[in-house]
Every structure is written in structure tokens, then in C-alpha cells.
């Protein structure tokens, strides 16, 4: 059994990770869960915090949004988890609730049980892309969310939607949630051709298109209902900032809903007549039933309705590999999720 907690901190913007040894937390609140990390995923958001100071209000900072592990202790009001349960969670960068450490303390509602057939490495990749995709539907498009317990039952129901960046973690999650939320919606997506088979055969997109194709607009329109163009676009990678032709895939007479994820850059300007909404994971509280999002994810996983968004790429073993993961993410990653084994 470990006798101490090792965490990796960023002391100032752009500084490399630094090891810090602290006691294992013992002050577990009544609704809190202590998780011993077994795998940690590295996200673009971790890089933006560490290297650019995005959303950082004070230093030092323990990064880390994603991870999985084993429950080591629970508060006296926790009812859904027990010691030795294998779980994943939504971690919060800062200190005790961040994932870049051996032990983290999170609220019970932020935890879900890991499917028995999934590895810790796979489970560690789910949190950020799932709840940001939820924001894309619930805030960006304001669709019904029937898979979310107590979630909105009514809302915008497009006949077709185009997901830009389907091979990103967020894009892959968005495709799945669209199919769950809007079973009659034609879901189209863009990516490099090497990812097309996974996006259609595994994750459920109806068609996938080469994002660099010179015939992209015509191809998307042809694949949409009645070949008119799509009702909605969910931009998971900020493609609309430089690839302005994607707005031509809209049905000229349709609602032209454009949901754009906040990337840390300026909001993307859209053509006249396009209804644009910026969505961010930190605005999830706007969604009815959001307190049940991890419990709902657990149900989807148990029922086999939610698949692994991206293949896992193991960066290395031990917390010391976190720096390597950040540097690799900084250089750019496509079609895979970076994970280290603790």
C-alpha cells in the first residue's frame, strides 16, 4: 500500500511538470470518493493550461481532467460506490481533485463504474470528450437528451447534422451522442480517410468525408435528406475558422444551426443567416439533469450503447511520463488518445 501521494504540478505558465510528495488525503467529505489512479489520459486542455495558462487563476497547479482507478475510501454519505470499485471520473485541475497524481478526491456524482471488460487505460479516456459532447448537444444545439436521466425531453430536432472533426475525441463522442439523442437524424462527419471506417462502422456515422476534398460541399449535400444540405453543424475542432466553405453545406432554407466548441481562441465569425452558439464544458450547469451525466454514462457503458471514442496510445508508465504526454500532445495528435499507466 502506498504511504504517500505523489502529484505533478506546474509552478508557473510554461514550466515543466515538477514532482511533489504529499500525504494521502484523509479528510474525505461525506459525498466524496478517494480514487487511487491507475491510468491518466492527457487532453489538449491540459496542454493549454500548462503551457498557455488558459483558465488558470493561480499557480502552482495540478493538471488533469481524465483518469481511472480504484476507490480507496468513501465518505459516510456515499451510496453508489464502495472500496475496491473500479471507476472513471471527471477530475478538476487545481489540487486534490486533479488527475495528475496518485490519489485524487472527487464528488460522488463525478464518478462512474468502469465496465468490467474495459481496461483502466480505455476508461481513462472517456470523461472530457463525453461531457463536452453533451454540452455540444445540450447547449450548442439544444436537442433533447433522452439518454440523460431527468434531461431535456424536447428541443431542436434536426433531420441531418454534420460533425466537423469526427476523428477527434470530441468528434467521436459527439457522433455517438447524436445517434443516441436523435435516432432519426442523418449523421455525417469529416476526417482524414484513414479514420472513416471506424467513424461509420463502429461509432455510427452514416457517412464520413475527406475533410480536404475539393468536392466536400457537394458530397455532403448529396448525402443529406433530399440532397438539400444539413440542418446543423457541430464544429468540434474549430474548422469553421479557416474552412469557410463548410457553411455552404447548410440547407439554404433550413435552420442553419452551428454549434462551435470553445477552443481558447476568438469565437468563429459565421455568414449571415447562420445561428451560431459557442459551447464550453464549464457551462454544463445550464443543462437540465446534468448532475446525472456520469450515472447516465455508466448506464450507457453497461448496456453497450457507448463505444470507446478513440484507440488508446500508451505514452509510458509512471507519473514521470506525464511530461512526455504533454509534449507529444503539444506537437499534435490525430485519431488516438494519449494515456499513461500509473
Q: Dump pLDDT digits (tens) for 273-290.
A: 999 999 999 899 999 999
Confidence class for position 238, pLDDT limits 50, 70, 90: very high
Residues whose CB falls within 8 Å of the CB of residue 221, separated by 6 or more in sequence, listed in order: 227, 228, 229, 249
Give the number of other Cβ atoms within 10 Å of residue 58's Cβ.
Answer: 6
Q: Which of 317, 333, 153, 142 is nearest to 232 (CA)?
A: 142
pLDDT in tens, 131-155: 999 999 999 999 999 999 999 999 9
Confidence class for position 340, pLDDT limits 50, 70, 90: very high
Q: What is the β-pairing status of strands 275-279 and 257-261?
A: parallel
pLDDT of residue 1 exceeding 70: no
Chain mean pLDDT for the chain? 96
Least-confidence region, from 1-5, 167-171, 243-247: 1-5
- Specify the pLDDT at position 42: 97
Least-confidence region, from 62-71, 123-132, 145-154, 260-269: 260-269
All structural domains of the chain, each given as residue ranges with its CATH number in brackets, are: 5-125+310-341 (3.90.180.10), 129-286 (3.90.180.10)
pLDDT in tens, 243-262: 999 999 999 999 999 999 99
Confidence class for position 178, pLDDT limits 50, 70, 90: very high
CA distance to 41, 91, 190, 254, per residue, from 311 (Å): 12, 21, 18, 35
- Specify the pLDDT at position 332: 87
Preceding omega of 273 cis (within 30 degrees of 0): no
Spatial distance between the Cα atoms of 194 and 336, rounded to a whole number of angstroms: 12
pLDDT of residue 268 exceeding 90: yes
Spatial distance between the Cα atoms of 17 and 63, rounded to a whole number of angstroms: 9
Q: CB under 8 Å, gap of 24 or more: what pairs does 248-255 form?
A: 248/217, 249/162, 249/216, 249/217, 249/220, 249/221, 249/224, 250/274, 251/160, 251/224, 252/228, 253/228, 254/228, 254/229, 254/230, 255/156, 255/158, 255/231
Burial class (CB in 10 A: 0-12, 13-18, 19+), 39: buried
Helix pair 169-181, 127-135: axis angle to 10 deg: 50
Confidence class for position 3, pLDDT limits 50, 70, 90: confident
- Look up the pTM and report it: 0.96
- Specify the pLDDT at position 25: 96
- Specify the pLDDT at position 55: 83
Mean pLDDT, rounded, for 6-23: 96
pLDDT in tens, 316-331: 999 999 999 999 999 9
pLDDT of residue 20 exceeding 80: yes
- Specify the pLDDT at position 41: 98
Amino acid at each position: 500500500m502506498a504511504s504517500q501521494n505523489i502529484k505533478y504540478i506546474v509552478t508557473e505558465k510554461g514550466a515543466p511538470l515538477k514532482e511533489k510528495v504529499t500525504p494521502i488525503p484523509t479528510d474525505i467529505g461525506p459525498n466524496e470518493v478517494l480514487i487511487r489512479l491507475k491510468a491518466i489520459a492527457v487532453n489538449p486542455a491540459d496542454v493549454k493550461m500548462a503551457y498557455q495558462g488558459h483558465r488558470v487563476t493561480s499557480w502552482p497547479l495540478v493538471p488533469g481532467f481524465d483518469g481511472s482507478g480504484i476507490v480507496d475510501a468513501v465518505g459516510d454519505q456515499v451510496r453508489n460506490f464502495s472500496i475496491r470499485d473500479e471507476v472513471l471520473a471527471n477530475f478538476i485541475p487545481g489540487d486534490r481533485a486533479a488527475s495528475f497524481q496518485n490519489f485524487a478526491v472527487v464528488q460522488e456524482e463525478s464518478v462512474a463504474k468502469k465496465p468490467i471488460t474495459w481496461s483502466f487505460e480505455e476508461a481513462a479516456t472517456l470523461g472530457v470528450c463525453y461531457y463536452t459532447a453533451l454540452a455540444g448537444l445540450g447547449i450548442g444545439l439544444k436537442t433533447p437528451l433522452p439518454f440523460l436521466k431527468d434531461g431535456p425531453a424536447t428541443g431542436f430536432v434536426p433531420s441531418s447534422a454534420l460533425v466537423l472533426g469526427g476523428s477527434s475525441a470530441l468528434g467521436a463522442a459527439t457522433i455517438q451522442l447524436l445517434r443516441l439523442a436523435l435516432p432519426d437524424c442523418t449523421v455525417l462527419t469529416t476526417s482524414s480517410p484513414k479514420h472513416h471506417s471506424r467513424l461509420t462502422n463502429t461509432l455510427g456515422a452514416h457517412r464520413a468525408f475527406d475533410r480536404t476534398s475539393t468536392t466536400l460541399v457537394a458530397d455532403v449535400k448529396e448525402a443529406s435528406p433530399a440532397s438539400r444540405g444539413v440542418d446543423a453543424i457541430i464544429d468540434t475542432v474549430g474548422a469553421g475558422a479557416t474552412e469557410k466553405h463548410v457553411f455552404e453545406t447548410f440547407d439554404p432554407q433550413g435552420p442553419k444551426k452551428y454549434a462551435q466548441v470553445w477552443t481558447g481562441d476568438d469565437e468563429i465569425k459565421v455568414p449571415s443567416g447562420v445561428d451560431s452558439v459557442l459551447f464550453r464544458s464549464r457551462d454544463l450547469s445550464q443543462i437540465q439533469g446534468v448532475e446525472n451525466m456520469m450515472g447516465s454514462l455508466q448506464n450507457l457503458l453497461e448496456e453497450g450503447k457507448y463505444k470507446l471514442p478513440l484507440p488508446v496510445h500508451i505514452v509510458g508508465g509512471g507519473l514521470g511520463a506525464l511530461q512526455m504526454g504533454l509534449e507529444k500532445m503539444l506537437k499534435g495528435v490525430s485519431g488516438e488518445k494519449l494515456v499513461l499507466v500509473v
